[in-house]
Amino acid sequence: MNREEEYDCIIVGGGIAGLQGAIQLGRYKHRTLVIDKGVGRSTLCQCYHNVLGWPDGVSGPELRRLGRLQAERLGVQFMNDEVSGLSAEEDGFKALTKQGRKELKTATILLATGLMDRFPQLPGLEECLGLTVYVCPDCDGYEVSGKRTIVLGAGHVGASMALTLSYWSQELVYINHESHQSAVSTDLLEQLKEKGILMVDQAIAEVLVTETGDFSGVRLTDGKVIEGERGFIAFGGNKVQSELAAQLGVERLENRHISADPRSKMTNVPGVWAAGDVGVHAEQVTIAMGEGSQAAIWIHKELLKRQQKQPALH
Ligand SMILES: Cc1cc2nc3c(=O)[nH]c(=O)nc-3n(C[C@H](O)[C@H](O)[C@H](O)COP(=O)(O)OP(=O)(O)OC[C@H]3O[C@@H](n4cnc5c(N)ncnc54)[C@H](O)[C@@H]3O)c2cc1C
């Protein structure tokens, strides 16, 4: 194997956490490879509204484009592929990819694989994501202030989202899209009633979008139209992409998020770090960025220690 196929760090996932980690590792001049399969939460979100420096918002794809450019300028390499396997080797790890053109060896790994939201493939939905239909109340609750808002969801997850949003909007409708399999408890029903939130037990056929691309409501499977100015999705069952971590014996919580050391972001497996939504945190861009940097700083310390360039900086 030639030297180009050996890295100081392989970052699995080129979303927000992975890119920020890559920029930091590039600035330490470590041989870094980012492998990314191309679809994540940051490719879905068409506008982040709560990121420092972007008062008018920035789209996930644009942030990724800029992040990749910045990392590439620092010598970080990129591969468009899916990591299908990770295994421990003497002095490091081996990564296998789906296209599998090369055997990739690395001293350390940063897992930044994120999670994927579960939502039905409804016509009109994806084009509104991040713009007028949101997923995270901490990120975008503000955007529904004083606006008639429809929660597209399932069972208690959707009901709880509607209750959370009542902090910002007083005109809320909750559509329980999966009412046939996801009932809402009497207690939650009572709370919805108290807040004046209308609940509709009917599947959604399509999301209605104006000519200018804004959410304007939903059409139900019985043909009825419910109008709204903003939407929120809350179907539950999001998929944490931590299978690779399990292959390496990395500790995961019951909900499959990776638990890492709060100070260094290193997992229980020496040489393996985790950052971003795959870890345990508030699932936000700025936090994913922070964790990416934090992990990279500690990966650098570890690489220095291994190279015996200077004593460990603990
Ligand atoms: C619709 C929507 C709106 C949002 N709005 C906001 C907002 O307004 N403000 C905010 O702060 N946050 C928002 N978020 C959340 C934000 O997008 C995430 O917190 C952020 O993207 C997390 O970054 P990440 O790097 O952990 O994961 P991601 O950005 O999802 O990146 C993970 C990457 O890993 C790759 N990957 C996964 N597995 C593999 C594999 N085996 N091999 C190779 N690559 C792999 C994926 O392709 C993906 O590119 C929103 C999310 C969504 C879906």
Q: Is the CB–ligand 1 distance for residue 291 below 6 Å?
A: no
Q: Is the CB–ligand 1 distance for residue 136 below 6 Å?
A: yes
Neighbours of 90 (CB within 10 A): 4
Cβ 117 vs Cβ 126: under 8 Å: no
CA nearest 264: which of 306, 296, 309?
Answer: 296
φ, ψ at 28 (rounded to 5°): -90, 0
Q: Is the CB–ligand 1 distance for residue 242 below 6 Å?
A: no
CA nearest 139: which of 203, 226, 78, 51?
Answer: 51
Helix (H) or strand (E) holding 219, with range, is strand 215-220
Q: How far is the CA of 262 from the centre of ligand 1 (A)?
A: 20
Q: How far is the CA of 235 from the centre of ligand 1 (A)?
A: 17
Residue 33 in tokens? 């490879």
Q: Is the pLDDT of residue 6 over 70?
A: yes
Cβ 233 vs Cβ 246: under 8 Å: no
Q: How far is the CA of 307 from the centre of ligand 1 (A)?
A: 33
Ligand 1 atom nearest to 47, measured from its CA: 8
What is the per-residue pLDDT across 17-52, written as a single tens digit (0 to 9) for each? 999 999 999 999 999 999 999 999 999 999 999 999
Interior/surface letters 100-132, b for 16+ CB within 10 angstroms, e for the rest: eeeebbbbbbbbbbbbebebeebebbeebbbbb
Ligand 1 atom nearest to 283, measured from its CA: 19
Cβ 296 vs Cβ 28: under 8 Å: yes
Cβ 121 vs Cβ 137: under 8 Å: no
For residues 172-180, average pLDDT? 95
Q: How far is the CA of 40 from the centre of ligand 1 (A)?
A: 5
CA nearest 16: which of 86, 91, 110?
Answer: 110
Q: Which of 115, 136, 152, 230 to mutate to test the pocket of ligand 1 (most atoms within 8 A of CB)?
A: 136
What is the per-residue pLDDT across 229-255, written as a single tens digit (0 to 9) for each? 999 999 999 999 999 999 999 999 999
Dihedral of the alpha carbons of 299, 278, 52, 11, in degrees to the nearest 10: 40
Which residue has the CA at smallest separation from atom 15 of ligand 1?
A: 284
Q: How far apart are CA 9 and CA 22, in angstroms?
A: 9
Give ∠ CA 93-95-98 in degrees, rounded to 5.
Answer: 170
pLDDT in the model for residue 38: 97
CA nearest 299: which of 255, 276, 265?
Answer: 265
Task: Say what the pTM is.
Answer: 0.95
Ligand 1 atom nearest to 276, measured from its CA: 26
Cβ 273 vs Cβ 267: under 8 Å: yes
What is the per-residue pLDDT across 62-120, written as a single tens digit (0 to 9) for each? 999 999 999 999 999 999 999 999 999 988 999 999 998 778 999 999 999 999 999 99
Q: Is the CB–ligand 1 distance for residue 140 below 6 Å?
A: yes
Q: How far is the CA of 16 from the centre of ligand 1 (A)?
A: 6
Give the model's confidence band at 309: pLDDT under 50 very low, under 70 low, under 90 confident, else very high: low
Which residue has the CA at smallest separation from atom 21 of ligand 1?
A: 42
Helices (H) and strands (E) counted in the chain, each on its own, are 9, 17
φ, ψ at 85 (rounded to 5°): -160, 145
When the pLDDT of each residue in the chain is averaged and rounded to a whole number, the result is 95
Q: Is the pLDDT of residue 310 over 90?
A: no
Q: Which of 41, 44, 117, 283 to mutate to test the pocket of ligand 1 (most atoms within 8 A of CB)?
A: 41
Q: Is the pLDDT of residue 159 over 60?
A: yes
